[in-house]
Structures are given as C-alpha cells and as structure tokens.
C-alpha cells in the first residue's frame, strides 16, 4: 500500500473544512447498500464559501460522486475546493478517471477523508492531483468515512463481503437499510436477496451444499460488500466458523458502521 505523505495529513481541520466534509459524509451515507460493487462516496465542491456542486455514487456504482458534483458545478468548479470521502480514481475502468476530470475542471484544492486501498488507485490519484499543482489534504472525517465504506474495504482486503447479523426482517425479501444483500436459508437452497441497481430486491438461489468458504467466495465474486444474515438462521452459525469472515452484530437503533481477490468496478 502506498503511504500518504505526512504533509498531506489533516488531523485538526477548522470548522469550515469539517462542515463541508460533513456534507460529503451525509451524501455517502445516503447511498450505503445501493452502489455495490463500488464504495458509497460523497462529494461537494465549494467556491467562495458556497456549495456549487454536490454528488454521490449512483445506483450500481456509476457515475462516481466526483463526476456528479463536477457536472453540477460546471464552470464554477474552477478555483474551487473539492471535498470527497475517498481518494479520486486515477484508472480507466467503465468510466474515465475522476482525477483527470478534477484537473480539467481547474479545481485548486482537494480534501479527502481516506486513501483508496484498491491497488489500481492506492495513493496514485493523490499523486496525479499533486503533480497537476492541486493542493491535497487527507484525513477529514476519516473515522466516519471508514465506517461507511467498511464493507468495501473488507472485500478489497479479503475478497469477501462484510457480514452482519441481526434480527430477522419482518418480510422475507426486505433488505435492511445500508446493506447490499440479505442471505438466509430456504427450503432447499440458500437464498441471497440482492439490491439491484434499480433499487429493487432480487432473490437468487445458492447451492445449500456449498461450504462456508465457497459461499463467501461466491458473494465476493458477485461484488457484494455488505451482507445481512438473520441471527436466528442456521446459516449465521455456519458462517461464523469461516476463517476469513468478519461478522458483527447489528441493531437498527444504532448508526450503521461502518479467497479470490476481487476488485471494485470503480
């Protein structure tokens, strides 16, 4: 992993920086569970003390938050400051690099919460921005951003989604807010109910004979980052014994927390 230069760290942001990044955090949180395989990112563009562009990762992972905010800001992005919860991408995927779009727009400063651990980015987005003469600050609201993107970071590190257990939903196909999918035992199979890019829930069967590792590998290959499992389902106990599984308890009354290698489509 590329190390962040010490001079770029922002451990004591002033009130204005914190306020603008707070707007970006709220945008990112609003898209949790809706943008897999990509992370939920929020972005705001500020010029002369006024927000001129807002954006968040869209359903299915594209367009990215930076692209949405830049499109809204238009020419007002020139000489503005951009606040984003994750390092802008610098590679060509299904969309052009956000770092290039930021440079072309004439943004003068970028404040980011976190460095992107995806090996295709991993500090190179920041490097490209600095080489273009853009001031880069890192660390604003990093704890909040880490919680929001915990599932994405876990999948990048392990190839598997982050699993959370909690009370069984009242309806079989209701995915708890903030999660990509719900997984539970069926009559003759394991069913994974996935939130589609259209915002709908789609149930898909998995082989009930699959081992715990095979199940986790399959979920990771699908690009899922956070999966909810009812705590009273036998499946939760089966998955608890998986060596690379992180399972945490979940309560709807609490704020959302934050194998083969799987990269995001970002």
Q: How many helices (H) and strands (E) does the chain have?
A: 8, 11
Helix intervals (H) in the chain: 15-29, 65-73, 98-105, 124-131, 142-148, 150-158, 212-221, 234-240
Catalytic residue among 66, 87, 142, 218: 66
The H or E element containing residue 111 is strand 109-112
| Token pair for 148 | 């929001």
Q: Catalytic residue at 66? A: yes
Closest listed residue to residue 224, CA positions, set 146, 123, 152: 152
With beta carbons less than 8 A apart as the criterion, state whether 126 and 112 touch.
Answer: yes
Closest-CA residue to 77 (of 105, 51, 49, 101)? 105
Euclidean distance between the first and the last CA atom of the chain, given in angstroms as a whole number: 18
3-state secondary structure 125-170: HHHHHHHCCCEEEECCCHHHHHHHCHHHHHHHHHCCCEEEEECCCC
Q: How far apart are alpha carbons 239 and 247 in whole angstroms?
A: 8
Measured between alpha carbons, how far is 204 from 202 in angstroms, rounded to an integer? 7
Backbone torsions φ then ψ of 61, nearest 5 degrees: 100, -5
Is 49 exposed, middle or buried (CB count within 10 Å of its CB: 0-12, 13-18, 19+)? exposed
Active site residues: 66
């Amino acid at each position: 992993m590329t190390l962040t230069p010490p001079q770029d760290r922002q451990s004591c942001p002033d009130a204005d920086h914190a306020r603008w990044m707070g707007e970006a955090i709220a945008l990112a949180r609003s898209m949790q569970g809706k943008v897999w395989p990509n992370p939920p990112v929020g972005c705001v563009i500020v010029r002369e003390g006024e927000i001129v562009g807002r954006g968040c990762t869209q359903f299915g992972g594209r367009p990215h938050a930076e692209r949405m905010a830049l499109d809204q800001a238009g020419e007002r992005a020139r000489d503005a400051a951009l606040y984003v919860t994750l390092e802008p991408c610098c590679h060509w995927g299904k969309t052009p690099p956000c770092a290039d779009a930021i440079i072309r727009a004439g943004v003068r400063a970028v404040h980011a919460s976190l460095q992107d651990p995806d090996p295709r980015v991993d500090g190179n987005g920041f490097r490209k921005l600095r080489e273009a003469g853009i001031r880069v600050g890192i660390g604003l609201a990093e704890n909040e951003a880490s919680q929001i993107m915990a599932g994405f970071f876990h999948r990048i590190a392990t190839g598997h989604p982050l699993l959370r257990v909690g009370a069984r939903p009242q309806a079989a196909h209701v995915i708890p807010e903030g999660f990509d999918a719900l997984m539970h035992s069926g009559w003759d199979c394991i069913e994974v109910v996935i939130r589609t890019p259209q915002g709908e829930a789609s149930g898909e069967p998995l082989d009930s004979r699959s081992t715990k590792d095979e199940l986790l590998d399959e979920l990771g290959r699908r690009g899922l980052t956070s999966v909810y499992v009812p705590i009273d389902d036998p499946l939760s106990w089966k998955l608890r014994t998986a060596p690379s599984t992180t399972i945490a308890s979940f309560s709807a009354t609490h704020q959302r927390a934050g194998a083969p290698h799987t990269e995001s489509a970002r």
